[in-house]
Structure formats: structure tokens, C-alpha cells
């Protein structure tokens, strides 16, 4: 009895050890793949906007929790499939069965590993991501104070700054502008439109003020009376903007509403406030992704075991297909929420109505040493 108990403990440690390495590798690879697009944007900040590398590194760190929220569930399935594919290929599964170790006994350490990954995913969603989001917005404001040109994109109408719309045709350097078009609505009773051939950005960090030093242009201003209209041609014109009001606005936006506040907003709008519905869906998705990490890890066990019998497709390929289908169903759940056909908790959990039965099906088939019917075309055994 003691020997059997010791063997099972050693088996648990062995499988957990086998799961850990591919899990860590999977997180690294998957997070990198998700980050590629963002890395290109971060490099553009350094090369095109002149932002220092320290600030870009801080942005990178604040974005990581959001990407871990996606990569951890996928990495759990990857680790589970790879581990049991190797155990099956080396005939270790057969050896364990000859010693009386059943299929569901092999699932137990995977269940523990997946549960820990599930808790990690939930912590990323409920704790790390909100903190990272708030830090990101605060960091964005600090960068804007140093490099105001970060808030401007060439050839686009930029509304980064409150009550102002700015269009710049091109920026030869970090501070020089060509083809400037500005609409200033800070005084709603007397809106201003400015068109200039060129200009220069100036920043006063101590006083939290930035300005546009414009050349060769026209200023159009409407008075309080609709019939009152002013037009001015200038060779040089300075437009100053107080950045402190913009900073306060961003700090308010950084405070996300709580669960109770969102529920109150939905109740007050009688379920018609789409933005509040989407915020509530995001809250429920943190739990949905956490549960997905648990289920993905369990699904990986039968997929890894049967992968040795697949010729045209492998268990890893099927796993990738399942992950893709999961996120496709997640998008469909978001669509159901947007057209108000499903409440947020159902829309966020929509993929699990398919994932859980599929998981139970694979477990039952593999425990009975059968083969999934939907993969019979690739079964290399008769």
C-alpha cells in the first residue's frame, strides 16, 4: 500500500514537471506572437516620435497582463497536448496502464496544474490588468508632457486633446508640421478654425502647457451672434493649450467603474446602455477565460494521447483549431450582446456551452480506448 501511494505521488510530480516546461515555453511564444503588432507600434514611438526607450519599456510592461490573459489558457492546452503526446509516443501510457494506473488517474495532476493556471488567469484579469490599464493611461499622459507629437498622427484627424481636432499633413521632424488644420471648440460660443502652411510644436513641461507656433495661415472665428464672423490672415500665430485640463480628464477615465456601478447604470437605462453591457461582459469574461484555462488543460490530455494515431492532422493541430473556435464563439457572444439577444453573462460564457460537452466527450472516448468519430479520416489504425 505504501509503495503504491509513493508511486502515485511520484507520478503526479513527474507529470507536473513534464507540464511545466512546455507551459513556460508556450507562454513565451504565444505572448510574443500576440505582442508582435504592438511591438511594431512601440518601435514606431521610438523611431517616429522620439520617445525614450525607458518609457517604451514601461508601456510594454503595463501591456503584458492583458496579453497573459489570452496566452495562459492557450499555453495550458499546448503543455497538456505536448506532454501526453510524448508519453503516448514513448509507450509510457501503456506501461502505466499495465501497472494499474487508469486514464482518469492520469488526468488528476493535469487538473491540479490547470486549476493553478486558471487562478493565475483570473488574477491577471481581476487584479493585474486593471492596475496595468491605469498605469498605462498615467504613463501616456507623462509621455505626452514630454513628447506632445505622440498625440498627433500624420494624415489623420486627431482628437487626442479635449475639445480640439487637429490635422497635420506631414511632420518632417518631431516638432515641425506641414499642412496644419485645427478646430478649437474650447469656447463653444466662439469656435475657431485655423489653417496654416506650416508650424512648430512647443512644450512647457513645468507649466503643463504646449503650443502651436504657426506660419502663413488663416484664422476663422464665429462670434456669439451667428451673423458675427471674423477672418484673419497671419504670418505668425501662437496657439497655447493648457495640458492640465487634459490630464485631469485622463485621470478620471482611468478609474474604471465597479461591478455595482455598472449594474446600476444598466438598471437605470433598462438594459439599453450598450457601453455598460460591454463593460459587464468584460467583467464576466475574466471568469470565462479562467474557466477556459481549466478546460483547455483537460482537453489536452485526450488530444495528446490520440495524436499518435493521427496521420493527416495531429493533436496539436486539433488543439489550435479548438482554441480558434473558442475565440470565434467569443466574438459571436459579443455580437449577441451588442444586438441585445443575450445578457452579458450568457454572451461571455457562450463558448463554454460547446467546450464543456466536447471536453466530456473526448474524456469518455479516450477512457474507453475508442477514437473520436470526427477524426476517423486521419486514424492510421484500422
Phi, psi of 196, rounded to the nearest 5 degrees: -140, 150
Q: If you ran DSSP here, which 8-state letter would residue 174 be given? A: S
User: 64 and 203: one domain?
Assistant: no
Same domain, 178 and 283: no
The string of pLDDT tens digits covering residues 30-68 is: 888 877 766 666 666 555 555 656 666 667 777 777 788
Residue 253 is assigned to a structural domain of this protein: no
DSSP 331-377: HHHHHHHHTTSS-HHHHHHTTHHHHHHHHHHHHHHHHTT---GGGGG
In a shared domain, residues 238 and 348: no
Whether residues 170 and 214 share a domain: the answer is yes
Same domain? 275 vs 338: yes
Residues 41 and 173 in one domain: no
User: Can you give the residue range of the structural domain that contains 197?
Assistant: 152-243
* pLDDT top residue among 137 and 166: 166
Do 22 and 123 fall into the same domain? yes
Q: Mean pLDDT, to the nearest integer, of 367-377? A: 66
Confidence of residue 151 (pLDDT cuts 50, 70, 90): low
Q: What is the DSSP code (8-state) at residue 379?
A: B
Identify the burial level of 311 via C-beta atoms within 10 angstroms of its C-beta, where 0-12 means exposed, 13-18 middle and 19 or more buried: exposed
Contact assessment for residue 63 and residue 129, using Cβ atoms and an 8 Å cutoff: no
Check pLDDT > 50 for residue 93.
Answer: yes
- Structural domains of the chain, count: 2
Same domain, residue pair 26 and 63: yes
Indicate the angle between helix axes 2-49 and 53-89, nearest 10 degrees: 150
pTM: 0.70
Do the Cβ atoms of 14 and 93 come closer than 8 Å? no
CA distances in angstroms from 187 to 164, 192, 226, 366, 369, listed in the order given: 10, 8, 15, 70, 75
260, part of any domain:
no
Asked if 291 and 320 sit in the same domain, the reply is yes
Are 118 and 172 found together in one domain? Answer: no
- Whether residue 35 is found in the same domain as residue 103: yes
Q: Answer yes or no: is pLDDT of 2 > 50.
A: no
The verdict on residue 270 lying in a domain is yes
Amino acid at each position: 500500500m505504501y509503495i503504491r501511494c509513493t508511486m502515485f505521488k511520484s507520478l503526479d510530480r513527474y507529470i507536473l514537471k513534464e507540464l511545466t516546461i512546455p507551459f513556460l515555453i508556450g507562454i513565451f511564444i504565444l505572448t510574443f506572437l500576440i505582442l508582435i503588432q504592438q511591438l511594431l507600434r512601440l518601435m514606431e514611438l521610438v523611431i517616429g516620435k522620439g520617445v525614450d526607450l525607458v518609457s517604451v519599456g514601461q508601456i510594454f510592461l503595463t501591456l503584458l497582463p492583458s496579453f497573459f490573459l489570452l496566452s495562459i489558457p492557450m499555453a495550458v492546452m499546448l503543455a497538456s497536448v505536448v506532454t501526453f503526446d510524448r508519453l503516448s509516443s514513448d509507450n509510457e501510457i501503456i506501461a502505466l496502464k499495465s501497472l494499474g494506473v487508469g486514464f482518469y488517474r492520469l488526468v488528476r495532476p493535469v487538473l491540479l496544474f490547470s486549476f493553478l493556471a486558471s487562478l493565475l488567469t483570473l488574477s491577471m484579469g481581476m487584479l493585474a490588468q486593471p492596475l496595468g490599464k491605469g498605469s498605462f493611461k498615467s504613463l501616456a499622459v507623462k509621455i505626452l508632457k514630454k513628447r506632445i507629437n505622440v498625440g498627433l498622427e500624420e494624415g489623420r484627424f486627431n482628437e487626442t486633446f479635449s475639445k480640439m481636432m487637429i490635422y497635420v499633413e506631414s511632420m518632417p521632424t518631431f516638432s515641425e508640421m506641414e499642412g496644419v488644420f485645427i478646430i478649437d471648440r474650447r469656447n463653444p460660443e466662439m469656435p475657431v478654425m485655423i489653417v496654416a502652411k506650416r508650424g512648430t510644436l512647443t512644450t512647457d513641461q513645468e507649466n503643463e502647457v504646449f503650443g502651436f507656433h504657426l506660419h502663413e495661415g488663416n484664422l476663422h472665428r464665429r462670434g456669439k451672434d451667428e451673423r458675427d464672423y471674423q477672418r484673419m490672415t497671419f504670418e505668425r500665430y501662437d496657439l497655447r493649450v493648457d495640458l492640465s485640463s487634459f490630464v485631469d480628464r485622463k485621470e478620471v477615465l482611468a478609474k474604471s467603474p465597479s461591478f455595482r456601478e455598472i449594474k446600476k447604470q444598466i438598471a437605470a437605462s433598462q438594459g439599453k446602455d450598450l457601453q455598460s453591457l460591454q463593460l459587464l461582459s468584460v467583467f464576466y469574461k475574466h471568469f470565462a477565460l479562467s474557466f477556459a484555462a481549466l478546460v483547455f488543460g483537460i482537453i489536452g490530455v485526450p488530444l495528446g494521447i490520440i495524436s499518435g494515431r493521427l496521420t493527416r492532422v495531429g493533436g496539436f493541430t486539433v488543439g489550435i483549431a479548438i482554441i480558434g473556435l473558442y475565440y470565434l464563439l467569443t466574438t459571436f457572444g459579443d455580437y449577441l450582446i451588442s444586438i441585445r439577444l443575450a445578457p452579458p453573462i450568457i454572451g461571455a460564457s457562450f463558448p463554454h456551452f460547446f467546450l464543456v460537452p466536447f471536453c466530456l466527450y473526448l474524456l469518455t472516448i479516450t477512457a474507453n480506448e475508442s477514437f473520436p468519430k470526427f477524426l476517423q479520416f486521419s486514424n492510421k489504425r484500422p
